[in-house]
């Protein structure tokens, strides 16, 4: 087993591969010392205690871990934290503006677009990203482009209703 040559060491920081990562998280410059194998999702949840970003599979299959990175929606479970050095990340905790809920957040509450709420942060971050991409022209396309975000509670229609309330597709005429 190739790993057994590492000597027993209960202090992670002594592993010599520790990297320094600097990124902006929800507008705040943040520095972390991390081994390279820590995913962005676990960096957020375990190291920064930003648990709003959820883990539903850890394999890129559910969308619960979606965050915004430099203006694009990404799956934080499939992203190594060290690869996002110098990036700007927005998590669900940073979607509201100084306590004023984002229109999508308001619409989610109004349309009852969640039950357990566990997929919700990912749905909202994904919807923010989808709206910025501006590709979807109608409800069916919004459904398609949001289909990477699963909801086991079956709040699918209300989620799309909430997004459609806020999203005004650009018309290219």
Partner 1 sequence: METINQKQQGKALSRLEGALKVTGAAQYAGEYSAPDLLYGHVVNSTIPKGKIQKIYTEEILKLPGIIEIFTHENRPSLAWFNFQYSDMDAPPGSPFRPLHDAEIKYYGQPVALVVAESFEEARFAASVLKIDYEKEAFTTNFTNQLDDARAPKRGFATLLKPLPPKPKGDFDKAFDESPVQVSADDYYHGTEHHNPMEMHATTTMFEGEGKLTIYDKTQGTVNSQLYVANVFGLSFKDVRVIAPYVGGAFGSGLQPQYQLFMSVMAALELKRSVRVTLTRAQMYTFGHRPPTLQQIKVAAEMDGKITALHHKATAETSRFEDYTEVVVNWGNILYPVENTKLDYELVPVDVYSPLDMRAPGGSTGLHPLECALDELAYELKMDPLDLRLKNYAEQDDSENRPFSSKELKECYLQGAEKFGWYNRSPQPRSMRRGNRLVGYGMATGIWESMTLPAKAEATLTKEGKFRVRSAVTDIGTGTLTVMTQIAADALGVGLDEVEFEYGDSKMPFAPIQGGSYTVSTVGSAVVAACQALRKRLLKIAQKANGSLFETASESKVSLTNGHLSLSEKPDVAVSFQELLTVSGKRMIKASKTNIPNPLTLKKYTRAAHSAAFVEVEVDEELGVINVTRALTAVAAGTIVNPKTARSQIVGGMVWGISKALREETITDHRLGRYMNPNLAEYHIPVHADIHDLDVIFVEEKDDIVNPLGSKGLGEIGIVALPPAIANAVFHATGKRIHQLPIHFDMLL
Is 91 near partner 1 (CB under 8 A)? yes
Position among 89, 119, 131, 136 found at the interface with partner 1 (CB under 8 A)? 119
The smaller minimum CB distance to partner 1, of residues 28 and 173, is found at: 28
Q: Check residue 152 for interaction with partner 1 (CB under 8 A).
A: yes
Question: Is 122 within 8 Å of 74 (Cβ atoms)?
Answer: no
- We find the least distance from the C-beta atom of residue 152 to ligand FES, in angstroms, to be 4
The dihedral through the CA atoms of 126, 132, 135, 140 has a sign that is: positive
CA distance 103 to 127: 11
38 binds partner 1 (CB under 8 A): yes
**Which positions ≥6 away from 152 have C-beta within 8 Å?**
116, 119
Q: Which does 45 bind (CB under 5 to 8 A by kind): ligand FES, partner 1, none?
A: partner 1
Site pattern 82..121 for ligand FES (x: CB under 6 A): --------------------------------xxxxxxx-
Could you please report the per-residue DSSP string of 116-129? S-SSHHHHHHHHHH
Task: With beta carbons less than 8 A apart as the criterion, state whether 92 and 41 touch.
Answer: no
In angstroms, the CA 146 to CA 136 distance is 10
Can you say how many angstroms the Cα of residue 107 is from the centroid of all Cα atoms in its chain?
19
In whole angstroms, the minimum distance from the beta carbon of 31 to partner 1 comes to 18
CB of 173 to partner 1, least distance (A): 25
Residues in contact with ligand FES, counted by CB under 6 A, come to a total of 23
Nearer CB in complex with partner 1: 7/173: 7
């Amino acid at each position: 087993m190739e790993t057994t040559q590492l000597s027993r060491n209960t202090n992670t920081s002594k592993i010599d591969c520790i990297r320094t990562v600097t990124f902006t998280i929800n507008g705040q410059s943040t520095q972390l010392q991390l081994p390279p194998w820590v995913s962005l999702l676990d960096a957020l949840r375990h190291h920064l205690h930003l648990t709003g970003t959820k883990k539903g599979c850890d394999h890129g299959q559910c969308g619960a871990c979606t965050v915004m990175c430099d203006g694009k929606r990404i799956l934080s479970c499939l992203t190594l934290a060290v690869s996002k050095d110098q990036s700007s990340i927005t998590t669900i905790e940073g979607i509201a503006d100084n306590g004023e809920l984002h229109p999508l957040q308001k619409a989610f509450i109004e349309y009852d677009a969640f039950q357990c709420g566990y997929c919700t942060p990912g749905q909202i971050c994904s919807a923010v990203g989808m709206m910025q991409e501006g590709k979807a022209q109608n409800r069916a396309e919004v459904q398609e482009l949001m289909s990477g975000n699963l909801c086991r509670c079956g709040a699918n229609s209300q989620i799309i209703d909430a997004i459609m309330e806020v999203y005004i597709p650009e018309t290219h005429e």
